[in-house]
Structure formats: structure tokens, C-alpha cells
Chain A
């Protein structure tokens, strides 16, 4: 039985070499590690956000009711063979105006509510994924080129919808 007995200086040398090797590996890993920067397609994220869909569905019901009133008034005018009727015309005008106003207001409100909810979630998402920067591409030239590997749009959509439905 031949046992290799290492003397202390030799052992120390091996330990020193191992530590140096590990330090080198760590340093290389730090150098080669991808920068924690990612980008997302904002419009895609907002449109796929379930809360937006739900809110739009709620608003659509109200809009349909206003539209039904406008359509009924138009039908009345048609039944009267399009004869001039200032009262009916004013009513139609009011209904159309109400539709337009409600549509604009609800769109603004939906946008506001969505961003109220998205902003803190985006912050949490960035922190959880260890990102230093999350760029929002909106198709207007904010991001001219981005590698697909740092496109987190789909991942973010999943994250946001899960947060919205379950709260976790």
C-alpha cells in the first residue's frame, strides 16, 4: 500500500492554487455575466394585461346602451321619412356627443387605472428579476434594436396577469 503523504508546504501550495483558480473563475464570471438590462414591448404588455380587458368589457356594456339610444333615435328619424325634426336632431346630436364623451372619459380612466396598478408591479418585477434597467419599447424608436434573449415581454405579461388574478 503506497500512500502519498503530502507535506505541509505542498498542501499549502495546492490550497493557494485552488483559491487562485476559484478567484479567477469568479472574476471571469463577473466579466462575462450579461448586464441585467432588458426591454419590453409596452403596447403588447398593456393590451395583454387582463385588467385592461376586464375594464374594457365593463365599459363596453355602458357604451352599447348609449349606442342603442342613438340607434333608436336614428330609426325614429328614418321612420319619419327623414323629415326635418329639430327636436329629434338635437336628441340624436346629444346622444352622439354623450357616446363620444363617455368613450373618451372611460378610455382615459382605464389608462389611468392600469398605470396606477402597473407602476408598482413593474418596480417589483424589476427587483425580483434582478434587473438594473427595464426599457419600454413602444415602437416609436425608444429601442432601435434588442436581442430576443433580453426581451421580457411575454414573461412580464405572465407575471402581471398572475399578480392581477391571484395577488401573488
Chain B
């Protein structure tokens, strides 16, 4: 009996230890998600464009929005937001131009004219060119936002979300960027990656 009790206590301790490994503070959770080495951020280079695509589960999105409150020990808004977006799968697509800034005035004028076209495309039509594939099922975006940084930062960001995608298998995000004419930009996440991510928890009160 004593042996069994000892074994149970050891098992419980190990379980607690494992759980604490998977529970992270808001800032360390965000750092973990944004670290390319952990496999949730992947980069594709196509010509002079670089696409950095990050998988963003609801916990990450809510954490990004309310991490200051969470650090102060207030988690009401975080929990509410998490409940709102639960079941969704988000992706953050950062578009960055690799080439140097245009040198001549003519080039700058041409680029300014194209900027309007660029914003029009990414705000209105790009969502139709993004899809999520899981097995034979294709999901279309349920939410889509294009964050134009007006040239203040070297990249613009697309936030795209898919409602209730089945995540029992590998998932693949496909983006056919018609503005930069970069077709078939694919990013895949394996089932094991998704499973290990679902075990990660944000430490709240």
C-alpha cells in the first residue's frame, strides 16, 4: 500500500511538473509563439517579397490584446475575448519587400501610384485568394483584416481567421498573392505541432 501511495505521489508530482512546463506567462507565451525556432512562424521568399506567416491560436490573439492586464493580474477581459474567438484559427501574414527603396523620383512616383492599387487589393480582394486546407476540406476565411502601416514599418500585416476548422490532421494555408504575382504560397502545420500547441496554456489568475 505504501509503495502504491509513493508511486501515486511521484506520478502526481511529475504530472504537475509537466503541466507547469506547459503553462507560461503571457509574455513568455507570446515570445514562444513568435520564435521562428519553435515552428509556428514560417517564412517564404518569393522574388523581392518576403512572407512571414505565423499561426496564432485564440489564446495568442487574446494575449496580444490583453497582456498588460494579464500581467497586472486582471484576466476578465482576456477570458471574455478568449470565449469570443474560441474555435477560430488565425494566421498573421507579414508582407515585406526585400529590395531596397527606389532610388529615382520616377520610381517613387510609380510606387506611390501602385500603393493605392496594393491597398485596394489587400483590403478588398486578397481574402478570396486565401484558404485553409485540411485533408480534402477547404475553408474560406471567416474574418480578414489588412493592417496598412503606411510605410511606417517595413511590413504590412494581414490577419486572417478561419471558423471551426477541423484540426485532427495536418493543416495548410494557401495564399495566391495576385498583387505581387506570387502564386501558391503554402505553409503547413502538422497534427503533432497543433497538438503540442493546444497543450500550451497562458498563466492567468
Q: Which residues of chain A are within 8 angstroms of B190 by Cβ–Cβ distance? A: 166
Contacts of A166 in B (CB 8 A): 42, 172, 186-190
Which residue of A has the minimal Cβ distance to B170? A166
Within 144-168 of A, Cβ neighbours of B (below 8 Å) are at 164-168
**In chain A, residues 53-91, which have Cβ atoms closer than 8 Å to a Cβ of chain B?**
54-55, 58
A48 an interface residue at 8 Å Cβ cutoff? no
Chain B's closest residue to A168 (CB) is: B42
**A120 at the A/B interface (Cβ < 8 Å)?**
yes
| Chain B CB within 8 A of A46 CB | no
Residues of chain A with a CB closer than 8 A to B74's CB: none
Given known A-B contacts A54-B184, A55-B184, A167 and B42 have beta carbons under 8 A apart: yes
Chain A residue numbers with a CB within 8 Å of B47 are: 116
Nearest CB of A to B47, in Å? 4
- Are the CB atoms of A55 and B183 closer together than 8 Å? yes
Say what secondary structure dominates the interface of chain B. Answer: strand
Residues in chain B near residue A164, CB distance under 8 A: 184, 186
A167 and B182 in contact, given A116-B46, A117-B46, A120-B45 (Cβ under 8 angstroms): no
Contacts of A51 in B (CB 8 A): 184
Cβ of B50 to closest chain A Cβ, rounded Å: 9
**Per-position binary interface string of chain B over residues 174-189, scored 1 when its CB falls under 8 Å from any chain A CB and 0 otherwise:** 0000000111101111
Which chain A residues lie closer than 8 Å to B189 at the CB level?
Answer: 166
Kindly list chain B residues whose C-beta atoms are within 8 Å of the C-beta of A168. Answer: 39, 42, 188
Which of B's residues lie within 8 Å of A, judged by CB?
39, 42-47, 53, 172, 181-184, 186-190
A residues with a Cβ closer than 8 A to B are 51, 54-55, 58, 113, 116-117, 120-121, 164-168
Of all A-B residue pairs in the complex, the 4 with the closest CB atoms, nearest first, are A166-B188, A167-B42, A116-B47, A120-B45
